[in-house]
């Protein structure tokens, strides 16, 4: 089986650097997609209460019968339940068919509700109780992270942010690094929109790999955690084939140069 590298988190745990994304995988298609991913070798699954596919993922996990300690499961609390994180996590765990998450994340800061600081305190309590091993956030910008540090005194081990060749968020990634926060890149291939960029094509031609593979490799070599999503078995397999080649500095720079400030998702301050 392909060996997927792990990244160390500040809380003493490790996370597989390559996982399987499940946004827009319907509950009815989640079982087949996750079964395929597990067959291919993925062991890290990224979901969220919002995705409404945790039951389907749970069916795939039950069918596959892989020991729980060999899996890495991430789920998230949605904006309207920031003050009900415990109930949200318990419901997610029931659907997934497990007694704990490996990583539980605040999905968006949703500053309008002004509840993410309390939510973070509640996540700390859930971790203390063992309902989740690690805790983190998604889509947190500098001021959101700053509030957790000042008001709670603990910052996340993971910040899951939109990051792909045409939207690299270098300043936010640098801030994460400065605080010992691992950056997870969502939409790692820019939802396929970045695959036609000329820098990506040039590198793919040089190393004789697909555009998706070189973009995922570009992330891995820079220490990010990624979980590309696909419901197509051939792409699920393709996206896993990223650990047996290397990009050189020039390749990395060519993909870096694709950056165009091209945000695909919402601005976290407005979501
Ligand atoms: N925390 C957050 O706020 C947040 C937000 C968004 C996403 N996420 C997480 O991040 C994961 C990944 O992000 P994402 O799903 O938005 O985008 P993505 O993984 O960058 O791209 C997925 C899209 O690319 C297509 N695709 C996948 N592999 C391909 C390949 N090898 N060649 C060509 N096209 C390919 C997929 O189509 P097919 O399925 O048809 O193959 C799908 O349309 C999500 O699934 C979710 O788990 C988190």
Q: What is the DSSP string of 74-139?
A: EEEE-GGGTT-HHHHHHHHHHHHT-S-EEEEEES---GGG--HHHHHHHHHHHHHTTSEEEEEEES
Q: Give me ligand 1 centre to Cα 135, in Å.
A: 22
Q: Does domain 8-192+223-231 have CATH number 3.20.20.100?
A: yes
**What is the whole-number distance in angstroms between the Cα of residue 24 and the centre of ligand 1?**
8
Give residue 152 CA to ligand 1 midpoint distance, Å: 33
Q: How many beta carbons lie within 10 A of that of residue 13, not counting itself?
A: 15
What confidence tens digit (pLDDT) does each residue in 217-229 have?
Answer: 999 999 999 999 9
Given a cut of 80, whether residue 30 has pLDDT beyond it is yes
Give the residue from 217, 213, 208, 218 showing the smallest Cα distance to 239: 213
In this prediction, residue 1 has a pLDDT band, given cuts at 50, 70 and 90, of low
With a 6 Å cutoff on the Cβ, whether 46 touches ligand 1 is yes
C-beta separation of 173 from 149 below 8 A: no
Mean pLDDT of 62-76: 98
Please identify, by atom number, the ligand 1 atom nearest to the C-alpha of residue 232.
Answer: 41
pLDDT of residue 45 exceeding 70 = yes
Residues identified as active-site: 51
pLDDT, average across residues 225-244: 98
| Beta carbon of 227 within 6 Å of any ligand 1 atom | yes
Choice from 17, 189, 213, 231 to test ligand 1 binding pocket (greatest atom count within 8 A of CB): 189
Residue spans of the domains in the chain: they are: 8-192+223-231
Binding-site annotation: residue ranges for substrate: 107
- 153-167 b/e with 16+ CB inside 10 Å = b? eebbbbbbbbbbbbb
pLDDT value at 271 more than 90: no
Segment 143-191, tens digit of pLDDT: 999 999 999 999 999 999 999 999 999 999 999 999 999 999 999 999 9
% of the chain surpassing 70 pLDDT: 99
| Cβ-proximal residues to 207 (8 Å cutoff; 6+ apart), any chain | 214, 245, 247, 251
């Amino acid at each position: 089986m392909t060996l997927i590298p792990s990244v160390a988190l500040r809380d003493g745990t490790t996370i597989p650097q390559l996982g399987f994304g499940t946004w827009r995988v319907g509950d009815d298609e989640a079982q087949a997609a996750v079964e395929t991913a597990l067959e291919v070798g993925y062991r890290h699954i990224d979901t969220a209460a919002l995705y409404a596919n945790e039951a389907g993922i749970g069916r795939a996990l039950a069918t596959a019968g892989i020991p729980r300690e060999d899996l890495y499961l991430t789920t998230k609390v949605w904006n309207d339940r920031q003050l009900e994180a415990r109930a949200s996590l318990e419901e997610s765990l029931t659907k997934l068919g497990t007694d704990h998450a490996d990583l539980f994340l605040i999905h968006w800061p949703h500053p309008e509700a002004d509840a993410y600081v309390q939510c973070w305190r509640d996540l700390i309590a859930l971790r203390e109780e063992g309902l989740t091993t690690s805790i983190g956030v998604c889509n947190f910008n500098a001021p959101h992270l700053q509030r957790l540090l000042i008001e709670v005194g603990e910052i996340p081990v993971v910040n899951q942010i939109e990051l792909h060749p045409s939207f690299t968020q270098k300043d936010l990634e640098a801030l994460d690094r400065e605080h010992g926060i691992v950056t997870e890149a969502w939409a790692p291939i820019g939802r396929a929109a970045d695959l036609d960029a000329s820098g990506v094509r040039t590198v793919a031609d040089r190393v004789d790999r697909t555009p998706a593979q070189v973009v995922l490799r570009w992330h891995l070599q820079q220490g990010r955690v990624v979980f590309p999503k696909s419901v197509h078995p051939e792409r699920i397999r393709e996206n896993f084939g990223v650990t047996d080649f290397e990009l050189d500095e020039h390749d990395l720079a060519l993909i870096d140069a694709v950056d165009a400030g091209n945000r695909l998702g919402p601005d976290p301050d407005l979501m």
